[in-house]
Amino acid sequence: MPPMTYSVIIPIVFVAGLLGGTLSWLIRRAVGLDVLRRHHEVGSAVFQQLGVVFAVLLAFVFNQVWSEYNAVAEAIQQECASLHAVGMMAESLPDAARRRIDATIEAYGRAVVAEEWPAMQRNERSLAAAGRLVQVWRMVVQETRAEADSSVQGQMLTMLSHAYQMRETRLVEATSDVPVLLWVVLLTLAVAMTSSMFSFGIEYLWSQIGFTAVFIGCIVFSLLLVYALDQPFQGAVSISPAGFERLVDTMIAPD
């Protein structure tokens, strides 16, 4: 399925509403108002029951994907902040050591932006970016080994440990999708509710067509929004690598 960009979401919602309204009009012409009114009461009861189940399940799934989306954004922010803190602590080291540490952090940030972000869009990891982070760790250990005050090394390694944890959180949350079974249930309920809409017998034809079109459009839009949030690195609501780009700019040492 293509990324849920605005240029994809808007036409899909519009076409779904148009098809729903057209189908409602065709059924009304083929069946007639009197027949629909005889099914209206049963269809309304079925619609309400399905609506309750669908609303509860949709709220559960939406809460899950929204929580994961926020967790990814927070993990990125904390990962960048921890790496920036390592760079700030390196200011207490000799200039040569500081520049080498800053250079490895900068290289990691560039690897995340250039290699890992496209990989995460494919629900994959970047081994190159992971290797760059290991190089940061080794460089910090190497450049702080001779420090008389070991607290500097300890603080920098603590920040790096936190950055690693946030990286893992980012990658795990980014590659976790809504289970296929939940999608099957959501789509089944959506189709069943839509089918119930066609059994309604509203006296004014255009009111029935409008209600049906708007309802189907809203259902489709809700499902597309859940899918978009479930893919936090692609589509209309994708998270940008701006945090790592700022980190790279910060780590570029002046000549």
For the residues of 103-137, what is the DSSP string, one character each? Answer: HHHHHHHHHIIIIIHHHHHTT---HHHHHHHHHHH
Q: Which element (helix H / strand E) includes 240?
A: none
Residue 171 has pLDDT above 80, yes or no: yes
Cα 169 to Cα 83, 124, 175, 176: the distances in Å are: 15, 14, 10, 11
Confidence (pLDDT) at 59: 92
Q: Percent of the chain at pLDDT above 90?
A: 36
pLDDT, mean of residues 52-62: 91
Residue 132 has pLDDT above 50, yes or no: yes
Do residues 54 and 186 lie in contact, with contact meaning Cβ atoms separated by under 8 Å?
yes
Task: Quote the mean pLDDT of the chain.
Answer: 85
Confidence (pLDDT) at 95: 86
Cα gap 162→150, rounded to integer Å: 19
For the residues of 188-207, what is the DSSP string, one character each? Answer: HHHHHHHHHHTT---SSHHH
Chain segment 212-239, per-residue pLDDT in tens: 888 899 999 999 999 988 888 888 888 9
Residue 146 has pLDDT above 70, yes or no: no
Chain segment 2-55, per-residue pLDDT in tens: 677 888 889 999 999 899 888 888 877 777 767 666 666 666 677 778 888 899
pTM of the model: 0.82
- With cut-offs at 50, 70 and 90, classify the pLDDT of residue 63: very high
Q: Percent of the chain at pLDDT above 70?
A: 90
Indicate the domain borders of the chain. 6-251
Burial call 194-217: b when 16+ CB within 10 Å, e when fewer: bebbbbbbbeeeeebbebbbebbb
Residue 188 has pLDDT above 70, yes or no: yes
Confidence (pLDDT) at 255: 45
- With cut-offs at 50, 70 and 90, classify the pLDDT of residue 161: very high
